[in-house]
A and B are shown apart, each in its own frame.
Chain A
């Protein structure tokens, strides 16, 4: 059995990397001396990114009343951090888009689950009045990328893990730990670290199955954990693995409820029904990132 460690992941030669432009945007945003003008210049140098970013900013995900026609306007209306989050989200797709499907891993479904999770994280954080500036969407989108790395670079083990789970003897994470010595959440966290993403994001990816381990931004990790659950509850994901769960008994829910007592009265049924619309918005994000034509949706005559 191979033992996967942080350094063995980092030594992989063709490890998917964050595009330079995204790394520069992240650096610029975290640098207190940098300006909005500098950030704008950086993004506008990449016309393809600029076009996609504007499409996302004008999509239902943001529900803007007025047209956001320039990067300048996007920065003013959405803020530097939110724009940087959009760039990172788009880059996740760029980084992984070349990785082909295989019979053990339906990538389309994978990204639906990931983006769906991002969309749910977005509406959940909004509902709680948490100002997460798009980090919740990035984290939702990336929470399971460790699975792709396992499939791509440790394929034999991946197949054994999948078969083990299909036989119904134990969880995916337990199987991953047994065959690789590390689980997809840890591995995804190492990639987020290698990419130089902010600590809160690394943590949200690495701890999304054990939200009480988070220290930097417990709310972010809790939101991602719950969104993962709710996305499965909407039937988007690896449903064979999904057991029934009670959201109010979940440790992440309890953790959030400490600071947001309004959760105790929340109409969870209605919130769950409403997620369909949020997931649809997130699917629009996938279509924009991967240059697919927009769906007719509700706008058709």
Chain B
């Protein structure tokens, strides 16, 4: 890391802002001023790979070059964290577990309609939907038998879904997991952690491409949807379509989570933006 930073050409503040703004325009992903040094080393690698010398050249390349699409995807892969984990981005999960879920549960208790439908729409190897399952168990506790809980989890990749269904994880996946939750919801064997059945049985996996209109239309009546860190892979038109589908999948008053540094500004006006501590969530009106 040290050497890489040392070799990276210096990224001036104004160039950083230019590229940051362009990335935001293209993907809705925002990099704050504090991310400048991280960006410098990551961009330097892309510069090298493209055989370009200055950040200016790189900027014009990703903005105007006819073959830019491929490079843009590589850039996004470079500057984002592709790796998922349990309890990724704690403030978002706090908003879900401490504010949103109790609200939904109380409302449904009152209406006497004890069902919960949650969807993790780009679930990768399963850490996200299982984390949500753990929170549902923590929240419902002994009243769980009175509830019908469905956590739907989907991804584009069949391969990763197989891994998710296995439910076996290494230390790295559990880096945000407290000792209490480790012992309560995992069985440890041979240096691996297996998610316990009580969590596993809440989650049902299926393959869904977010661009697949037919499958998307089959997902209905969701209380909460997580669609985090995947929208950057879509261009504006397809993103609008995906978001419109997710909107239709939600119950009135339901919530949509996207990646913590992502934004739907300019993508959809249908949702109401709700601020929670360190987390912005979209609510279906």
Contacts and interface: CB of A to CB of B under 8 A. Distances in A.
15 contacts: A233-B276, A233-B277, A233-B278, A243-B99, A244-B274, A245-B275, A246-B275, A246-B283, A247-B273, A267-B266, A269-B265, A272-B275, A273-B261, A277-B32, A298-B36
B275 A247 contact: yes
B100 to A, nearest CB: 8
B273 A268 contact: yes
Contacts, number: 68
A276 B277 CA distance: 13
B76 interface: no
Interface residue tally of chain A, by bracket? 20 to 34
Interface residues of B, number: 25
Given A276-B34, A277-B32, A269 B280 contact: yes
B32 A276 contact: yes
Contacts of B280: 233, 269, 272
A248 B276 CA distance: 14
B263 A267 contact: yes
Interface in B232-277: 261, 263-266, 272-277
Nearest to A242: B277
Given A235-B91, A269-B263, A277 B276 contact: no
A230 interface: yes
Mostly, the A contact residues are helix
Interface of A: 229-230, 232-235, 239, 242-249, 267-270, 272-274, 276-277, 280, 298
A176 to B, nearest CB: 22
Contacts of A268: 265, 273
B24 interface: yes
Contacts of A267: 263, 265-266
Contacts of B283: 246
B32 A229 contact: no
A244 B32 contact: no
Given A232-B277, A235-B278, A246-B272, A270 B265 contact: yes
A268 to B, nearest CB: 6
B94 to A, nearest CB: 9
B61 interface: no
Contacts of B95: 244
B30 interface: yes
Contact of A244 (B34, B99, B264, B265): B99
Contacts of A249: 272
Residue among A245, A248, A249, A269 with the highest chain B CB neighbour number at 10 A: A269
Nearest to B272: A246
A246 B263 contact: no
A234 B278 contact: yes
B263 A230 contact: no
Interface of B: 24, 30, 32-34, 36, 91, 95, 99-100, 261, 263-266, 272-278, 280-281, 283
Contacts of A244: 95, 99-100, 274-276, 281
Contacts of B34: 276-277, 280
A230 B275 CA distance: 8
Contacts of A277: 32-34
Nearest to B37: A298
The 7 closest A-B pairs by CB, nearest first: A269-B263, A233-B275, A235-B278, A273-B30, A235-B277, A239-B277, A267-B265
A12 to B, nearest CB: 34
Given A272-B280, A273-B261, 16 more contacts: A230-B275, A233-B278, A234-B277, A235-B91, A242-B276, A243-B99, A244-B95, A244-B275, A244-B276, A245-B274, A246-B283, A247-B273, A273-B263, A277-B33, A277-B34, A280-B33
Contacts of A243: 99
A102 B275 CA distance: 30
A246 B30 contact: no
A267 to B, nearest CB: 4
Contact of A270 (B24, B91, B275): B24
A245 B281 CA distance: 10
Contacts of B266: 267
A36 to B, nearest CB: 34
Residue among B91, B100, B280 with the highest chain A CB neighbour number at 10 A: B280
B18 to A, nearest CB: 15
Contacts of B265: 267-270
B142 to A, nearest CB: 20
Given A235-B91, A270-B30, A273-B32, A229 B275 contact: yes
A298 B274 contact: no
Nearest to B32: A276
Contacts of A233: 275-278, 280
Contact of A246 (B36, B100, B274): B274
